[in-house]
Amino acid sequence: MILPNVKDVVSIILTMKMMILCCVITVKSAGIMGLSQLDFEDLRGYAIMIKVLFICHGNICRSPMAEFVMKKLVSDANFADHFQIASAATSTEEIWNGIGNPVYPPAKAELARHGISCEGKRARQVTKADYAEYDYLIGMDSANIRNMTRIAGGTDSQDKIYKMLSFAGYEDTQKFTGARDVADPWYTGNFDETYEDVVAGCKGFLYYLQQKGDISREIEIPR
C-alpha cells in the first residue's frame, strides 16, 4: 500500500478546514441578518459600524439631547448595534477638576417627557483624537463648527464635520440645506424647540446615511 505524502495530507486538511469555516460564516451571516440570500447591497448597510459624535459648547444641553435622541431612533429601528454614538463639548466650562457636569435638568426633563433617559451622562471635551475616531462630528451651531475644526488641527481634512440642521429635511430634499443654528436653550429657555430641531436633524441624518448606502434601505426610519 502506498502511503500519501505527509505534506499532501496536511494541505488537504487545511483546505477542508477553510472550506468548512467559509460555509459556517456564510450560514451564520444569513441567519443573523434574516436573509434568504446574501445580497451585497443589503449586507453593506449591516456591516458598517458608524461612529457619530454630537458636539455643542458645554455638552449639557444640545449635544446630549442629540446623543440620546439618536440612540433612541436607532434602537427603535433595531440597528443600534451598528452605531457608536456619543457627545462632547468644545469648551471646559462644564468640567471641574476633570469631572463633567450632568445634563442640565431642563434638558434632561425635556428628554424624559419623550420617554428618553440620559442617566449617567456627564460633560466631556472633544479632543483631536476624536476626529480620528469618529466618522461624523456634528456641531449644533457655527461657533461649534469653528471650534471643532480648530481642535481637529485647523482643517476638516477628511470631511467629517457637519452642522446639525444641514441634515434637516433630507428625507424630502435629498440634499443639505443652508442650515441655521440649533439655538442654545441655556439662553432661550425653549427646550421644546431645541428638542424638535434635534429630532429633525437626527432623522435627516439617518435618511442621509440610508441614501448614501451606509444603512440598509430595508430599515424603516420614522418621519
* H or E element that contains 79: none
Q: 62-76 and 105-113 are packed helices; what angle lies between their axes, rounded to 10 degrees? A: 20
- Residue 162, C-alpha cell as written in the block: 457637519
Residue 202 known to be catalytic: no
Tell me the C-alpha distance between 148 and 143, whole Å.
8
- Residue 205, C-alpha cell as written in the block: 441624518
Which of 130, 141, 184, 197 does the annotation list as catalytic?
184
Kindly list the strands in the beta sheet with 50-56, ordered across the sheet, starting from the edge strand earlier in the chain: 83-89, 50-56, 136-139, 161-163
Residue 150 known to be catalytic: no
Tell me the C-alpha distance between 147 and 59, whole Å.
14
Which of 61, 62, 118, 141 does the annotation list as catalytic?
62
Angstrom CA distances, 16 to 5, 7, 11, 25, 127, stand at 17, 14, 9, 14, 48
List active site positions.
56, 62, 184
